[in-house]
Amino acid sequence: MNPRASGFTLIELLVALVIFGIFAILAYAGLGRLLDNRERLTEEQRVWQELSLTFLRISDDVAHARSRAVRDVSGFELRAFVGRPFDPRALAEPSLELTRGGELNYGGGPHSDLRRVAYRLKEGRLVRITWPVLDRAPVTVPLEAPLLGGVEAFELRFYETSGGSVDSWPTATSGPDVPPRAMEVTLAVKGVGRFKRLFLVNG
């Protein structure tokens, strides 16, 4: 009887283990790449969802713009619709601030449907700011809701009825509480790209 028929030699076992090890390494590397791709796709999907919701929120706010000026904590009047170029200083005013209507009243009692809202780029994150009252008091605390992270640029362009465009609002000829005809928003998101949308403003 041939003794080799009863089992494997040590060399054959070592060769089999080496081959198994190679396949295991390849499988592990493939699984790692699959998980990395899945994580990257999940992150990209999250960014696209946040970007879509951000544009949707801006669209809803400007579509409900109202010609109602407000007063700040010092009693100075703030125009109904204000747009400024982005200012990176910590104490800079929001790039976009407006009075909007159409807010639902969940309390049941008499309540205005107007709300003061603003948008500001803060430490690479676009935030939406809301105030609980229109005319502010020294104790009025605004609520900041983060919308989109990794924002490298937040640019605004405003279009007059004549079709001309400006980078700030109101203008010297627009009237103090007359909103622009339309507003263009450009958002540059790190690692994703640069996106531009045009919104009609409620007049």
**Average pLDDT along the chain, 203 residues, taken 10 residues at a time:** 60 78 77 71 83 96 95 92 90 92 66 90 95 91 95 96 92 90 96 94 86
Range of the domain at 192: 60-200
89-120 exposure pattern, b = at least 16 Cβ within 10 A, e = fewer: eeeeebbbbbbbeeeeeeeeeeeeebbbbbbb
pLDDT reported for residue 16: 77
pLDDT reported for residue 63: 96
Q: For the chain, how many structural domains are there in total?
A: 1
- Residue 1 belongs to some domain of the structure: no
Query: What is the DSSP code (8-state) at residue 3?
Result: G
Q: What is the CATH number of the domain that holds 108?
A: 3.10.610.10
pLDDT reported for residue 104: 66
- Residue 170 belongs to some domain of the structure: yes
- Residue 176 belongs to some domain of the structure: yes
pLDDT reported for residue 198: 97
Angstrom distance (rounded) from CA 79 to CA 95: 13
Report which of 187, 203, 202, 201 is spatially closest to residue 47, judged by C-alpha positions.
187
Residue 78 CA neighbour count, 13 Å, CB half: 22
- Residue 177 belongs to some domain of the structure: yes
Angstrom distance (rounded) from CA 69 to CA 61: 16
- Residue 195 belongs to some domain of the structure: yes
- Residue 49 belongs to some domain of the structure: no
pLDDT reported for residue 42: 78
- Residue 77 belongs to some domain of the structure: yes
- Residue 81 belongs to some domain of the structure: yes
